[in-house]
């Protein structure tokens, strides 16, 4: 494990133990709010973001940070995604955390000019730690991994429908879903991306593609040998395309190709 990996792991453990877990299953009603569109935020999200930013500032003084909660309060924060920056999801899977259920985790990425260069995924309950650096592979707990499929036929798909409009959702249910064995979506990118590399899921569709949710997972899965890209044109994920919708992630390029072809046939 590299020096930066060990430092990020130590930071995630500290914030989890000191800030996040004391609030788990211990939230008062007034400590949970809806940011709109059934998108909750808790006091723990805000406290975690502050603690993580303080820790990251010590690791790379002067590097700007894009935190989910800061960006919600001030949209101009998103402009930082165009340059060198940290990207932080202080509690990924807040919906689960707020209801007292797993999974939930911490996502941290380091990006430069719209492209994630390094990323880390920490599962707050299990302690699973995923790390990736562009061109250097994907790791779980310090061991390099290669993405593997479930081996099932039809392939196992986790399809998130919650942010789609009614027309698109109906088309997905009618034309895409029957070609796969559907599985639950964990409402947590910190869980969904590992599932795609560790033989639990084969392919996943995301409608909303915010940087704090996907910067790490896209890099990590691709470094493991999977594929993540925009289905309409096959372009790679960029953190500075914050308004763009639609993303397919798969354990192998061929699984990605199959899903993208099906999605594009809907538009033909």
Annotated binding-site residue? 68: yes
Query: Is the Cα torsion angle 31, 35, 37, 39 positive or negative in sign?
Result: negative
d(CA 45, CA 50): 9
Query: 3-state SS of the chain?
Result: CCHHHHHHHHHHHHHHHHHHHHHCCCCCHHHEEECCCCCEEEHHHHHHHHHHHHHHHHHCCCCEEEEHHHHHHCHHHHHHHHCCEEEEEEEECHHHHHCCCCCCEEEEEEEECCEEEEEEEEECCCCCEEEEECCCCEEECCEEECCECCCCCCCEEEECCCCCCHHHHHHHHHHHHHHCEECCCCCCHHHHHHHHHECCCCEEEECCCCHHHHHHHHHHHHHCCCEEECCCCCCECCCCCCCCCCEEEECCHHHHHHHHHHHHHHHC
Q: Are 84 and 61 in contact (CB under 8 A)?
A: no
Annotated binding-site residue? 49: no
Annotated binding-site residue? 89: yes
Annotated binding-site residue? 152: no
Q: Which residues are annotated as a binding site?
A: 68, 89, 91-92, 213
| Binding-site sequence positions for Mg(2+) | 68, 89, 91-92, 213
């Amino acid at each position: 494990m590299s020096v930066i990996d060990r430092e990020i792991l130590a930071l995630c453990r500290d914030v989890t133990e000191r800030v996040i877990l004391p609030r788990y299953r211990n939230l008062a009603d007034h400590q949970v709010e809806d940011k709109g569109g059934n998108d909750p935020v808790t006091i723990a999200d805000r406290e975690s973001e502050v603690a993580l930013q303080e820790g990251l500032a010590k690791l790379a003084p002067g590097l700007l940070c894009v935190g989910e909660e800061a960006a919600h309060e001030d949209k101009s924060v998103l402009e930082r995604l165009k340059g060198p920056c940290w990207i932080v999801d202080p509690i990924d899977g807040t919906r689960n955390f707020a209801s007292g259920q797993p999974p939930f985790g911490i996502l941290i990425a380091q990006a430069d000019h719209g492209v994630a260069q390094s990323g880390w995924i920490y599962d707050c309950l299990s302690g699973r730690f995923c790390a990736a650096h562009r061109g250097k592979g994907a790791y779980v707990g310090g061991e390099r991994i290669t993405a593997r499929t479930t081996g099932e036929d039809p392939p196992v798909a986790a399809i998130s429908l919650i942010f789609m409009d009614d027309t698109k959702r109906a088309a997905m249910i009618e034309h895409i879903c029957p070609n796969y064995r559907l599985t639950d979506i964990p409402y947590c990118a910190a869980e969904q991306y590992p599932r795609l590399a560790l033989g639990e899921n084969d392919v996943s569709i995301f409608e909303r593609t915010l940087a704090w949710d996907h910067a790490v997972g896209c890099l990590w899965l691709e470094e493991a040998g999977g594929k993540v890209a925009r289905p309409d044109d096959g372009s790679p994920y960029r953190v500075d395309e914050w308004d763009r919708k639609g993303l397919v992630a798969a354990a192998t390029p061929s699984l990605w190709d199959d899903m993208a072809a099906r999605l594009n046939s809907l538009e033909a």
